[in-house]
Amino acid sequence: MEIDWLEDFLALSAAGVFARAADARNISQSAFTRRIKNLENWTGTPLFDRSVHPVELTAAGKAFKQTAIDTVAALKQTKSDIRGLSRRKASVLDFVALHTLAISFFPTWLTGMSSHLGPIKSRLVAENFSGCAEAILSGSADFMLCYFHPAVPTISDENRYPSSTIAKDQIIAVSCVGADGRVKYSLAADNPVPFLSYPPDTFLGRVSQVCLERGNLGDAVEPVYENSVAEALKSACLAGLGVAFLPERAAERELQDGTLHKISRPEYELAIEIKLYRSIERSRAELERFWMLAQNL
């Protein structure tokens, strides 16, 4: 059964004349008559008494009329609700970001974007790099926020997945303060210091290794703890468990209040970028406005 049949039924029950009802439904009388017959075949009984003019509803037609009214009204309301839901969903921007950026960068950055665009409806999922890449490549996210450095491979197809540098950062080594108020660890110490590291196959793990190699620090550190999330290493560093290489933005507050101190030298610190990626296969007005602003701020 089709909703058109129900609407035809209600038009004929109101008009009583096939020609008039067909005009109201903007179809030919023959097509209209055929659809009424299809509905009667579906119900298994005549719904109109054609022996009188204008036609009248049979007993079955009268019983069916309220059902037709309720069904058409329910389907129209559902259609309206679905369209409204689709519009609301389209207005939400879906982001996927590295855990560290989700915590230390995204809220402030989005606030800055909102100051230009007005309120932004957003949804953010925090992932490791492979999870972020999967989300943008599979089309389940509008935008991806990740770190970038030429030494670490990322998404290479700039034609399908263009990117824009939206901020810069650097990787620095930090230590907490000891009970005596002095910096607890030094990379220039005579003995190796405990080192809080990232898994070697992660972005931060690879750039940290570059820092160690630049500073010839392989013998200066002794790995004691590994975690893929910079915020977790920062917490371990604050607890005095060792030194860590962190994005400077992620440690900005602690550096300012003195609970962490930078212990690395500029010659082996590493400049990195924060990039926003998108897929050209996902496009709508809200997304394009956001992308345009992100590229030009």
Which CATH number goes with the domain that contains 121? 3.40.190.290
Looking at the fold, whether 61 and 101 belong to one and the same domain comes out as no
Residue 39 domain flag: yes
Residue 297 domain flag: no
Residue 67: give its domain's CATH number: 1.10.10.10
25 in Cβ contact with 33 (< 8 Å): no
- Give pLDDT tens digits along the chain (297 positions): 688 899 999 999 999 999 999 998 899 999 999 999 999 999 999 999 999 889 999 999 999 999 899 888 888 777 766 655 545 455 799 999 999 999 999 999 999 999 999 999 999 999 988 899 999 998 889 999 999 999 888 887 888 999 999 999 999 999 999 888 899 999 998 899 999 999 998 899 999 999 999 999 999 999 999 999 999 999 999 999 999 999 999 999 999 999 999 999 999 999 999 999 998 888 888 899 999 999 988
DSSP states of 105-157:
THHHHHHHHHHHH---EEEEEEE-HHHHHHHHHHTS-SEEEEEE-TTS-----
Looking at the fold, whether 226 and 101 belong to one and the same domain comes out as yes
Looking at the fold, whether 23 and 163 belong to one and the same domain comes out as no
Tell me which residue of 169, 128, 147, 152 sits closest to 251, measured CA to CA.
169
Looking at the fold, whether 60 and 107 belong to one and the same domain comes out as no
Looking at the fold, whether 135 and 192 belong to one and the same domain comes out as yes
Looking at the fold, whether 27 and 81 belong to one and the same domain comes out as yes
Question: How many domains are there within the chain?
Answer: 2
Residue 20 domain flag: yes
Looking at the fold, whether 136 and 83 belong to one and the same domain comes out as no
- Give me the domain span that covers residue 74: 3-88
